[in-house]
Amino acid sequence: MRNKKNLGDLGEELAAKFLEEKGYQILYRNFLGRGFELDIIAKKDDLICICEVKTRKSYSYGRAIEAIDTYKINSIIYGSQVFLNKFNLYNFQIRYDVIEVYPIEKKINHIENAFDLG
């Protein structure tokens, strides 16, 4: 199980660096609450981006985004509402993204608007 955690940590680190290189400011990493965890919360201009990071060794078992189910989406949306309320971030657009990280292949896919409130 430790190797899976290490792989996930590596993926989140690579995703954060990727976002910073694209001009995003990382506001928070691993925001935890009851029943949720938000991997990366980033800001660019008037946009708050809630990023779920999924890391896989390869495409052998499908794309990383396929591991995100309805339960996970609902927990991310709930967690983002908690975060926005806690830090009074009401005047921003919100976008939910998924960042797939494949470190062995040195590939990162940034899927903008991966899901929404509707």
Tell me which residue of 110, 97, 92 sits closest to 47, measured CA to CA. Answer: 92
- Name beta bridge partners: 99: 53, 110
pLDDT at 1: 42
Tell me which residue of 43, 39, 36, 35 sits closest to 19, measured CA to CA. Answer: 43
pTM of the model: 0.91
For residue 118, name the pLDDT band (cuts at 50, 70, 90).
Answer: low
CATH number of the domain at 17, please.
3.40.1350.10
Which range marks the domain in which residue 81 is found? 2-115
Distance CA 2, CA 82 (A): 29
Q: What is the pLDDT of residues 84-105, one digit of tens each?
A: 999 999 899 999 999 999 988 8
Instruction: Quickly count: other Cβ atoms within 10 Å of residue 22's Cβ.
Output: 10
If you average pLDDT over residues 4-17, what whole number do you get? 88
Q: What is the pLDDT of residues 44-83, one digit of tens each?
A: 999 999 999 999 887 777 888 888 999 999 999 999 999 9
For residue 2, name the pLDDT band (cuts at 50, 70, 90).
Answer: low
Sign of CA dihedral 103, 28, 109, 100: positive
Distance CA 103, CA 24 (A): 21
The total of structural domains in the chain comes to: 1
SS3 99: strand
DSSP type of residue 64: G
